[in-house]
Amino acid sequence: PEGCTPTAVATVSQYACQRRTTTENNNKIFTDAFEVLAENYEFNELEGPCLAFRRAASVLKSLPAAVRRLEATNNLPCLGEHAKTVIDILQYGCSCDVEKVLSDERYQTLKLFTSVFGVGPKTAEKWYRRGLRSFSEALADPSIQLNRMQQCGFLHYGDISRPVSKAEAQALTNIIDEVIRTITPDAVLALTGGFRRGKEFGHDVDFILTTLELGKEENLLQSVVRKLKKQGLLLFCDYQVSNFDMSKLPCHNFEAMDYFAKCFLILRLEGSLVEGGLHPAEGDCRGWKAVRVDLVSPPMDRYAFALLGWSGSRQFERDLRRFARVERRMLLDNHALYDKTKKEFLAATTEKDIFAHLGVEYIEPWQRNA
Ligand code: ATP
Ligand code: MN
Ligand code: MN
């Protein structure tokens, strides 16, 4: 009856940016299953259902305990349509739909091909349609022209498909820090991406680097790359110049790239630098490992937006933008925050400033593993 119903159930926000999600995932059996289904929808270019499964997974990741009964999901946002998968897993320990996807040849092949650095879903799909099913078939096909990125992706496949450890990320931080010190004393370096969120392992290491003095960052990335090359550490570099235009309104499409100068690298990490960090394959005593590294270089007055945007997780970023747009009539991206009602840009020097502008409680980086 109205008025006397106890509502002890804490409500979970539909927005990942209003939830605290650590690296501890109590619902991995469900979220792994959802991730497979989401990825399959992505391969089939069904963006709606793909995002719906990613949102559902993200909600479960934020829970302090494992879901044991379907009723536990009744009051959760974004989970309605996914009950069938949850029921199957609760009842049988696995889901029929997931098993079907996992044994599907198209899914398996696209998953394999997109695991190569430089091969996206479009290229993977093209290779699949040509009848290719394995790396050896793809590499032997005369009609396939690999670009430089894909060539390096294949060349270093073994190394870069193995996870990067925290110790290896630290060793790379030291290397890049030393390099930028020799370039300018006012350089700023920040570890971002998954390692900033406290993850133990990552698929790459992400850094923001810039200079305190505005404008001085313009040549920084190229100098860093040149020095890394001179030291013999550069295995691959895809440098993208800055096409940053500060008058532009923030872009609400999350999947769009930002305009900052950046580079996608493969670096040679010497084994001796990392105690216990390298696990060379049996019989492989090279003593070094190829590691994927991303560097992005925003001007200092955009530092907070770039840091927030590159810290992730992707789901956290997506929801932060959606929250800004839907709940606040604001546009947020990696460069700026714009208030559509006041028709003005909102400045920020720290991440906390941005959360405050949005009226969202501050979420620490290690609570953004949505
Ligand atoms: P992992 O451990 O797998 O690397 P991660 O969270 O660090 O996990 P990344 O793919 O390295 O994942 O991305 C880190 C963050 O950088 C993400 O939040 C994403 O929004 C942002 N990002 C990645 N690539 C780009 C890009 N090309 N342009 C803009 N932002 C990007
Ligand atoms: Mn990363
Ligand atoms: Mn990255």
Per-residue model confidence (pLDDT) at position 256: 76
pTM equals 0.94
Per-residue model confidence (pLDDT) at position 2: 45
Protein fold of 16-101: DNA polymerase; domain 1 (1.10.150)
Annotated catalytic, 319?
Answer: no
Superfamily name with CATH number, domain 106-155: 5' to 3' exonuclease, C-terminal subdomain (1.10.150.20)
Per-residue model confidence (pLDDT) at position 284: 59
Beta strand pairing call for 187-192 and 205-211: antiparallel
- Listed by start position, the domains of the chain span 16-101, 106-155, 164-301, 308-367
Per-residue model confidence (pLDDT) at position 278: 54
Annotated catalytic, 104?
Answer: no
Per-residue model confidence (pLDDT) at position 274: 47
CATH 3.30.460.10 fits 164-301, yes or no: yes
Confirm or deny that 294 is annotated as ligand binding. yes
Annotated catalytic, 204?
Answer: yes
Confirm or deny that 204 is annotated as ligand binding. yes
pLDDT tens digit string along 20-58?
A: 999 999 999 999 999 999 999 999 999 999 999 999 999
Tell me, using a 6 A CB cutoff, whether residue 256 lines ligand 1.
no
For residue 310, the ligand closest to its alpha carbon is 1
Q: pLDDT truncated to tens, each residue of the chain (370 aa)? A: 444 555 555 799 999 999 999 999 999 999 999 999 999 999 999 999 999 999 999 999 999 999 999 999 999 999 988 878 988 899 989 899 999 999 999 999 999 999 999 999 999 999 999 999 999 999 999 999 999 999 999 999 999 999 999 999 999 999 999 999 999 999 999 999 999 999 999 999 999 999 999 999 999 999 999 999 999 999 999 999 998 787 788 887 777 788 999 999 999 999 854 455 555 554 456 889 999 999 999 999 999 999 999 999 999 999 999 999 999 999 999 999 999 999 999 999 999 999 999 999 999 999 999 9
Instruction: Identify which of 199, 310, 316, 319 to mutate to test ligand 1's pocket (most ligand atoms within 8 A of the CB).
Output: 310
Out of 159, 204, 258, 333, the active site residue is 204
Closest CA to ligand 1's atom 5: 194
Superfamily name with CATH number, domain 308-367: DNA polymerase, thumb domain (3.30.210.10)
Instruction: Identify which of 54, 206, 254, 295 to mutate to test ligand 1's pocket (most ligand atoms within 8 A of the CB).
Output: 206
Closest CA to ligand 1's atom 17: 312
Confirm or deny that 32 is annotated as ligand binding. no
Cα(265) to ligand 3 centroid in Å equals: 10
Asked if domains 16-101 and 106-155 share a fold, the reply is yes
pLDDT tens digit string along 171-224?
A: 999 999 999 999 999 999 999 999 999 999 999 999 999 999 999 999 999 999
Cα(193) to ligand 3 centroid in Å equals: 7
Cα(176) to ligand 3 centroid in Å equals: 16
Tell me, using a 6 A CB cutoff, whether residue 317 lines ligand 1.
yes
